[in-house]
Amino acid sequence: MAEKKPNFLIIVADDLGFSDTSPYGGEIDTPNLQKLADEGIRLTGFHTAASCSPTRAMLLSGTDSHIAGLGVMAEKIKKAPDIFKDKPGYEGYLNYRVAALGEILQDAEYFTLMSGKWHLGLKKELGPHARGFTKVLSTLPGAGNHFNHEPQLYDLKEKPSAIFKGDGIWMKDSEFINGSTDLPRDFYSSNTFTDYFLDFLKERTAEEKTQPFFGYLPFTAPHWPLQAPQETIEKYRGKYDDGPIALRDRRLKSLIEKGLVPPDVEPAPMHMLKTRPWDELSDVEKRKSSRAMEVYAAMVDLIDVNIGRVRAYLEETGELDNTFVVFMSDNGAEGQLLEALPILAGYTVEDIVKKYYDNSLENIGNYNSFVWYGPQWAGAATAPARGAKSHSTEGGIHCPCIVRYPPALKQVGLVTSTFTTVMDIVPTILDLAGLKHPSPIFRGREVVPVRGKSWKLFLEHPEDETLQIYNDTDIVGWEQLGIAAVRVGEWKALFLPPPKGPGKWELYDLSKDLGEVHDLAESHPEKLKEMLHHYETYFQETGMFDSYTMYQEALKKRKADKAKVEADTNQQYASNTYPTY
């Protein structure tokens, strides 16, 4: 009888910070992730895209997001669709130029299942079932209430932004389901996604049990709104009362003690985004802020609890040790201030929150609260790196990643700082499964090859520090609407347009400056010129176009048009003249 091929399990946390979990120096109770790390390997050089759906496109395609359809996130495309119309790689969904991992493994007779967040297309033909997952429970947009409570959508006649969900965004296998009536009454995102995931495995037929499986479990936690059961929040009561700077200092000390960052690392300045320092906040403001962090910790805690449930099942069935497990975050911690984010015509997040939610101190974390924790707590989680999610600095793209796979790993409990990317997971899985990528023709269509690289040799010899996945001439780039970077070896050039950054190219030697504190652009002009040449190569290879300037102009015009309509309306009211029909 032929040996059964390996199973594959990819678990994704949404907006998890680098140091949030105990394997990465955090204080949050995550024993199952710690066990995974002790029996596997921790990557400290793992990199993703700077935001959510581009990372997921790269994860499932093995290539750059500009090739796979997420050159720009769908939420941005909606604001200026004409710019991106008919531009390959800017469809706003996982396009059909790529062979998705689920599709490839499905054709290799894998049992494929997915439970959680998709964020790679909102139509049936773009959903997870259409892209290779046989069993599915999925929320299609980028975020939503963790208790499935959406009061701002009840009796709504207008289509809302995707971050506030309604019907038409939940899928069970190949069909849409009603999020209000077809999901459990005791819904909580991490618990419910895991319930369905385990049910899919438990309900396999006798024939399906003979197949290897590919499981994809992308949690929506700990993405805002920050919500968790109160009994879990209670575990963290008072733990963050001394504020984000104190937390950052504790985390940094722990990272150094665990050998995850160099002992002489110089951390970046605190990520502030014009927020006031902790010492300037009132006692009430401090309590509400630390309470948000307590809820966040509870959300991470529950991710770990549910990973433990999956592990226990795989141990019980004897499948765990033949399963290649990857745990990762999709980008850096979320530090955005959401108050002014538009949700419905004329309404911001702050407007919606005030009207429909109760964010009193005692209620924070409940189903009818809606809070986020802001840039300083995010900065504590990304330290020593600079910035956070949506930045091309290390704080936006440098993420935790744990791998467990006994058949390949000859040594466990190790930490490696080797540079790796999320694009590597597809070629690694195909390598371990003994499969070739199907390009150039797959399922009757032309598909592109992967850009990532297999970790197989590296996993077999993790103690060999001379082994590199990417050599000193390989070019890896990042870009989302002008937020850009390019890396070759330990050198990195980055560009952050205002207000995120200075609007000029910066240059860093990451072998000496993980915090990206000392800009070498002026002192090393030839190296910067070389790196910009590498960026141009990346630009051309991925089919990018310079969307940033066009997008900013479109937003200005949209704003001016809106102001003109409002002015004309006000003038009509003032003069008491109305158009006749």
Is the pLDDT reported for residue 555 higher than 70? yes
Predicted structure pTM score? 0.94
**Residue 177: helix, strand or coil by DSSP?**
strand
Res. 153 pLDDT band, cuts 50 70 90: low
What mean pLDDT is reported for the chain?
92
Is the pLDDT reported for residue 202 higher than 70? yes
Residue 341: what pLDDT? 59
Q: Rounded mean pLDDT of 12-26?
A: 98
Pairing between β-strand 342-344 and β-strand 347-348 as defined by DSSP bridges: antiparallel
Q: Rounded mean pLDDT of 226-248?
A: 98
Alpha-carbon gap, residue 127 to 224, rounded angstroms:
23
And the tokens for 460? 């077999």
Residue 342: what pLDDT? 56
Residue 580 burial class via C-beta count within 10 angstroms: exposed 0-12, middle 13-18, buried 19 and up? exposed
Could you give the domains of the chain? 7-470 (3.40.720.10)
Is the pLDDT reported for residue 453 higher than 70? yes
- Alpha carbon 529 to chain centroid distance? 31
And the tokens for 82? 């004409």
Task: Examine the residue annotation and report whether 401 is marked as an active-site residue of this protein.
Answer: no
Show Cβ contacts of residue 170 under 8 Å, excluding neighbours closer than 6 positions: 137, 138, 139, 140, 176, 177, 178, 179, 182, 183
Res. 351 pLDDT band, cuts 50 70 90: confident
And the tokens for 347? 């309404």
Is the pLDDT reported for residue 1 higher than 70? no
Q: How many CA atoms lie within 13 A of 413 on its CB side?
A: 2
Residue 143: what pLDDT? 87
Res. 152 pLDDT band, cuts 50 70 90: low
Q: Tell me what percent of the residues of the chain surpass a pLDDT of 90.
A: 83
Res. 559 pLDDT band, cuts 50 70 90: confident
Q: Rounded mean pLDDT of 365-392?
A: 96
Residue 580: what pLDDT? 36
Res. 352 pLDDT band, cuts 50 70 90: confident
Q: Which of 371, 301, 314, 312 is nearest to 338 (CA)?
A: 371
Res. 339 pLDDT band, cuts 50 70 90: low
Alpha-carbon gap, residue 423 to 437, rounded angstroms:
13
Q: Rounded mean pLDDT of 215-235?
A: 97
Q: Which of 45, 46, 47, 48 is nearest to 417 (CA)?
A: 45
Is the pLDDT reported for residue 343 higher than 80? no
Q: Which of 47, 66, 119, 146 is catalytic?
A: 119
Tell me the one-letter amino acid at 532: L
Q: What is the edge-to-edge ordering of all strands in the sheet holding 491-495?
A: 476-480, 483-488, 491-495, 505-509
Residue 466: what pLDDT? 86
Res. 167 pLDDT band, cuts 50 70 90: low
Q: Which of 52, 129, 146, 401 is catalytic?
A: 52
For the chain, the distance separating the N- and C-terminal CA atoms, rounded to the nearest angstrom, is: 80
Residue 523 has phi, psi (to 5 degrees) of: -85, -20
Taking only the tens place, the pLDDT of each residue in 70-102 is: 999 999 999 999 999 999 999 999 999 999 999
Residue 177: what pLDDT? 95
Is the pLDDT reported for residue 186 higher than 70? yes
Residue 303: what pLDDT? 98
Task: Examine the residue annotation and report whether 119 is marked as an active-site residue of this protein.
Answer: yes
Residue 561: what pLDDT? 81
Q: Which of 177-186, 221-230, 323-332 has the lowest mean pLDDT?
A: 177-186
Q: Which of 343, 477, 381, 368 is nearest to 19 (CA)?
A: 381
Residue 470: what pLDDT? 97
Residue 248: what pLDDT? 98
What are the beta bridge partners of residue 131?
none
Is the pLDDT reported for residue 324 higher than 70? yes
Is the pLDDT reported for residue 60 higher than 60? yes
